[in-house]
Structure 1
Amino acid sequence: MRKLYSANRAKPRSFELRYGRILLAHRGGIVSYWDSYRNRRITRRRALAGVGAGVGAAALLAACGGGDEGGSDSTSLLGVVKDSTPKATPGGTWKSFVSSDSPGFDPLTQAASTVPAISNYSLSRLLKYELGTQENRPTGEVEGDAATSWEVAGDGLSVTFKLRPGMKFDPRPPTNGKNLTAADVMYSWSQYSTLAGTRGVLANEANPTAPIISMTAPDQQTIVAKLKFPYSPLLPMLGYHWYLVIQPTEAEDKFNAKQDMRGSGPWLLEKYSPSAEYQFVKHPNYYVKDRPFLDGISRPIITEYATGLSQFEAGNIWEFDVDQFDMIDVKKRNPQMELLSAGAFSRNPPQVVVYGWKPDSPFRDQRVRQAISMMLDRDAMIELNFAPSVFRDQGFDVETRWATHISAGEEGRWIDPQRNQKELGEGAKFFQYDIAEAKKLMSAASQANLTSDFSYFATNRYSSAWPKQGEVLMDMLSQGGITIKPNVVDYDVEYNPKYLNGKANFDGLAMLPSSAGPDIDTHFAAKYTKDGRATYIAETLPTAINDLLEAQRREFDSAKRNELIKEIQRKMAVHMPAAPVGGLSMDFAIQWPYLGNRGWFVQYAGATAAELYPHLWLDKSKLPS
């Protein structure tokens, strides 16, 4: 049994967390739950109640394929994947799934986070990300999508894009297979810069810290972007499917882009049944020769974990977000499935505990914020989310990392707060789990008897683990001496407007998510600037931090930029504008082995439908007879 706390760490007093039929017990620094869980047979009903992270298979299939037999060690559970493109044959429909419905299909006018995940099947961008492989990981380098070439001016204040000749929109009315031109890009920029929920990332008219002043079209094949300042991550930003996507001009008045799609990307939305299913077919005139291989993708909407797991094991869907705790057992019950390792850490920043910032908030005192961070057991949260011990017991070498205020997967710029405390400096101690020191800080701030709301939503909209994370965090804070008042709110009615997008104008504490985006500046700009989308803060950070945030945006030398980002971590570790929760473990996913290249090709920033899916093919030889 692995100890979650080393001998020199402060140990918590014993406590228990009960979640339905689940018991998690910390005693002397040892989590006894993991042993007892593995000794019990997992039923589908218990799986629904179980603690674990629903890790997205689409984001993880990056390394290894399945073995032929189940077993008790990693050798028999994992196999090897290779590039199977030379054997690829066209045709077939992939039976996938999606875990939630979307309110619409237009990222330019609809702010919901579920919209871009669907719209990227059909809507192109000026640029897209180069696809990586198991052997050559993607780095965020861009290649042309609607644009075939681009030139950055010597002063860095303009970029000229040449559009792809003969790039076809959807052949159905009202676009009727027309060519994409600068008029479509200009229409889309107008929509984005005035209406999009993410407009503050790129459009200077919406946010004075955003880079693009204007876009113009000298002719029908040219777009010129003028910038307020030289902006180092501009190109990857223009490749991101959450930002400037290209709608046809017909979306103005010829069809409702919120309810249908007419794009120039690799897939067409053939049928949408609300709350039931999305059906996509390949674009017959897609500009990449002989792609997509598949004729279509079926994505039933499955919101309940138990239902999805049952459908997955029955073979009715070919992939599913199986909880990490369940994955080994699912593989052993279905030895013909492929168990896949991510092969690298994700760039996803940590979720955080955020402080309400009203004028009388106790969290304005830096000592209280530091104390909150020291109450968080990051090893236990990683175990809760990723279950590394489950895989270690099977012989896997599973590394874990604590997050700072950036992702532990930001290679070359992340500072390890657990194993490299000297480099992180003074603030490293505030990442260590130490209840006694946390209580001292609370007493020094005259908050030894603090009572606080803790707000979150209790559905699996983000993952099946999300509600359990809220419960565990509340208990950790209670162990630190805070009297916690749970405040479970509805996502759409209260959580999204008041907490996620409320600019810290609430009472107490809240559990908030994050997302990687195309560049680390997405994270900084959205979460740690006063006017950022879904910001964690209500007031501008201290000048020493804010100046560094601004400097890294303008630094084109990657080594120098990494040093700036390291200094940001050092200063945030002391100021603690939010308390990062947990970190990362090397992830695993599982699927039926019917798709060729699944696991060999690796996408960069989440636009899987446009960048990865066209290269997958149905291997009919592996289908059940």
Structure 2
Amino acid sequence: MCITYNPTLFIHKGGRMRNYTDRQKQRFPLTRRQFLQAAPALTGLTLASFASLQAPTALWAAETPTPGGTLRHIGPQQPMFDIHATVSYATQLVNSLVLGKLVRFAMGPGVDPADFTLEPDLAERWETSPDGLTHTFYLRRGVRWEDRPPVNGRELVADDVKYSFERALAMSGYARLLGKIEKIETPDRYTVRIHHAEPFAPFRHNLAEVWTSIVAHEVEEKYGDFKSADAVRGIGPFMLQKYEPGVKSTFVKNPNYWRKGLPYLDSIEWIYLKDKGTILSLFRAGKVDIPYYDARIGRADVPSFRQTNPNYHIVFWPWLAVRTLAFRLDKKGAPWTDVRVRRAMSMAIDRKRWVEALLEGEGWTDPGPVPAPMKEWKLPTDQLGPGKKYLEYNPKEAKRLLAEAGYPNGFKAKVTNFPGYGPEYVEDLQLLVRYLKDIGIELEIVNEEYGKYISGSFLGKYEDMTWGPSSVFTEVDSYLYFFFKSGEKANRSHVNDPKLDELVLAQRRTLDKAKRKEIIDEIQRYAAEQVYYIYTPYPKNIAAWPPWVKGYWPKNSFDRGTQLQRVWIDQSAR
């Protein structure tokens, strides 16, 4: 069976949208599943080529938003609502609709999904001392919490920020992304002053992340924590009206929201539906508006979807998360503690063929440790030095390295993963397993449910290896510190390398961007040699939404509150 590609898609590249059409029906000779079965032996595949055109002006047309309506949005079920008690992306997504932050990222139509320009949010302005040690934020006056107990519409004050940051420092798995904070002062009701023990380059940027959201102390005093739906009280564009576990959460417009006239939507139904086939059917029929938390649809579904829903927007866009195979490097005597074995495993993967054939060219062969879309920080593959060769496909050399390390016949191991991310993630892991089997390494896939995965494998608690996507970080430091800093929970490979520790900490303390870039380049070269993680090829994301959803645009962020507050429904087009 062959798939005939004849789609008309809107393609995002470099902050712009492009429309491309396969004018001549080109044929791609293998289905994804057939590719998985034949991957190591594939040669000479012919890929579809597309003509690049300008995006239709209708997508960019200035239209007057019409308030009202309900957005039906598919989203993952959060393990809890406490923003500081879990690193779950699902918890961040729902909280972003309700909570607020000091600053936010620019987002919306026309803004590059990888543009992280900071904009004022709860803080209307800020200052940083010349030595980079003191950050002062000036809060907006008259900003009020939602008008429900126990906050009862009271005004946001500096003590709320102090309380939230101290709680995050004590509890959050991301606390290290705030740097070494010595003290937090509130000289008056609307001023917060944060003092660092040493310069921390990523600090202000990281304040736009959802996990730094401001919460109210009265809520914890009443409920003991923020884990339950009853404890969801915020200052953002929406309020949680009703939580139906396993079904949906309903959010309604917050009449107290400080941005007058926003949000445009009356409500959002955040629907906890997992079955991809059911979701796609409902999306085709117009029964849901956004098919996943980032509007993602499967790559294999695009051609048929374009035929059944020709007026829907379909966008390829650069996604920042990376996918890695991590190792228990602290497991004494395990084969992968030998760098020759890790290098062999890396050389067993035909990354170029993976991207060309499985991803139709829409992806990156070298996505880590710095994600490819982070162009200002990413070191090109040809500049990686000696480590470059370990990204090249060379199964013969891989087998030689295995034999040299004492494993001429390979070995067996277990690899955990969460299959609920979607069928394409599952297929990627299966392809990785096939490549490794080709050099004698047999991996047994162990599927885990999300709760166990996010609190276990995702934080380095597994037997042999684990595979899956990272969280989405918007500052380069997060892809270095969490992956390589010894002792960090998110250091899934249990890397303990004094040289890397020194380099990772040095780039954090360096405020001069050019000098910081030199350090980050050195980290990338060294990481390529050591192969503490295997970064598998990474696809561009595909987002889709119907023509009646206006003002929507993908973003590398879990901040759905900022993204959706300007979205509106054109009822005439529904």
TM-score range, shorter chain: 0.7 to 0.9
Question: What is residue 272 of structure 1 aligned with on the other side?
Answer: 243
Q: Tell me what 1:580 maps to.
A: 535
Indicate how the Cα distance of structure 1 residues 485 and 276 shifts in structure 2: closer, same or farther if over 3 A, else same. closer
After TM superposition, the structure 1 = structure 2 runs for residues 562-601 of structure 1, keeping only pairs within 5 Å, are 562-585=517-540, 587-599=541-553
Moved over 4 A (4+): 17-23, 72-78, 80-86, 135-138, 398-401
> Is residue 352–residue 513 contact of structure 1 (8 Å, CA) maintained in 2?
no
Contact 1:131 1:604 (8 Å CA) reproduced: no
Structure 1 CA distance for aligned equivalents of residues 385 and 188 of structure 2: 54
* Deviations 1:325-373, CA, capped at 9 Å, x for gaps: 111211112222222232xx33223333434431222222211111111
Tell me how far apart the structure 1 counterparts of residues 184 and 399 of structure 2 sit (CA, whole Å).
Answer: 54
Q: SS in structure 2 opposite 1:330?
A: helix
Matched, 1:148 2:124: yes
Question: Compared with structure 1, are the counterparts of its residues 620 and 259 closer, same or farther at alpha carbon in structure 2 (3 Å cutoff)?
Answer: same
**Quick check: 1:446 aligned with 2:406?**
yes
Query: Residue 29 of structure 1 aligns to which amino acid in structure 2?
Result: L
Residue in structure 2 matched with residue 161 of structure 1 by the alignment:
137
**1:373 & 1:198 partners in 2: Cα distance?**
29
Cα distance, 1:604 vs structure 2: 4.9
Q: Work out whether 1:532 is the aligned partner of 2:545.
A: no
Q: Distance in 2 between matches of 1:549 and 1:350?
A: 20
Kept after mapping to 1: 8 A contact 2:108/2:551: no
Aligned residue number for residue 511 of structure 1 = 467
Report matched runs for 1:324-473 at 5 Å.
324-342=299-317, 345-382=318-355, 387-388=359-360, 398=362, 400-417=364-381, 421=382, 423-457=383-417, 459-460=419-420, 462-473=421-432
- Picking from 241, 247, 256, the partner of 2:215 is 247
Q: Report if aligned partners of 1:356, 1:507 keep a CA contact under 8 Å in 2.
A: no
The corresponding residue for 1:605 is: 557
Distance verdict in 2 for CA 1:154–1:75, change over 3 Å: closer
| Equivalent residue letter for 1:214 | K
My pick for the range that moved more, 551-560 or 178-187, is: 551-560
Deviations 1:568-623 (A, max 9, x none): 111111111111111344x4322211122224xx645331x222211111122312
Unaligned runs of 5+ in 2: 4-29
Change in CA separation of 1:27 and 1:535 when aligned onto 2, cut-off 3 Å = closer
What residue ranges of structure 1 are gaps of 5+ in the alignment? 3-16, 39-71, 203-209, 390-397
Distance 1:401 1:443 in 2: 27
Contact 2:326 2:493 (8 Å CA) reproduced: no
In structure 2, the CA distance between the partners of 1:218 and 1:384, relative to structure 1 (3 Å rule), is farther
- The answer as to whether partners of 1:78 and 1:339 remain within 8 angstroms in 2 is no
Q: Which residue of 2 aligns with 1:42?
A: none
Find the counterpart in structure 2 of residue 58 from structure 1. none
Distance of 1:371 and 1:542 partners within structure 2: 24
In structure 2, the residue matched to 1:7 is none
* C-alpha deviation, 1:241, in angstroms: 0.4
C-alpha separation in 2, matches of 1:266 and 1:477: 48
Aligned residue for 2:258?
287
Verify the 8 A CA contact 2:108 2:563 in the aligned structure 1: no
- Contact in 2 for aligned 1:351/1:513 (Cα 8 Å): yes
Q: Does 1:24 align with 2:45?
A: no
Match of 1:614 among 556, 565, 568: 565
Structure 1 position 560 matched with structure 2 position 515: yes
Q: Does 1:87 align with 2:87?
A: no
Higher RCO structure, 1 or 2 (CA under 8 Å, sep 6+): 1
Q: Percent identity?
A: 26
CA spacing shift, 1:458–1:473, aligned 2, 3 Å = same
How far 1:277 moved relative to its partner?
0.9
- Give the structure 2 partner of residue 479 of structure 1: 438
1:92–1:550 CA distance, 2 compared to 1 (3 A): same
Cα separation, 2, equivalents of 1:437 and 1:294: 58
- Measure, in 2, the Cα distance between the counterparts of 1:582 and 1:222: 45
2:496 is aligned with 1:520: no
Q: Structure 1 232/612 Cα, relative in aligned 2: closer, same or farther at 3 Å?
A: same
Task: Tell whether the 8 Å contact from 1:404 to 1:573 is kept in structure 2 after alignment.
Answer: no
Q: Which amino acid aligns with 2:134?
A: S
Partner SS, residue 615 of structure 1: coil
Q: 1:597 to 1:491 in 2, by over 3 A?
A: closer
Amino acid paired to 2:360: P
8 Å contact from structure 1 (residues 277, 299) kept in 2: yes
Contact residue 167 and residue 287 of structure 1 kept, 8 A: yes
**Matching residue within 180, 184, 195 for 1:215:** 184
In the other structure, the counterpart of 1:196 is 172
| Structure 2 length-normalised TM | 0.86
Name whichever of 471-480 and 75-84 sits farther off.
Answer: 75-84
CA RMSD of aligned residues (A): 3.0
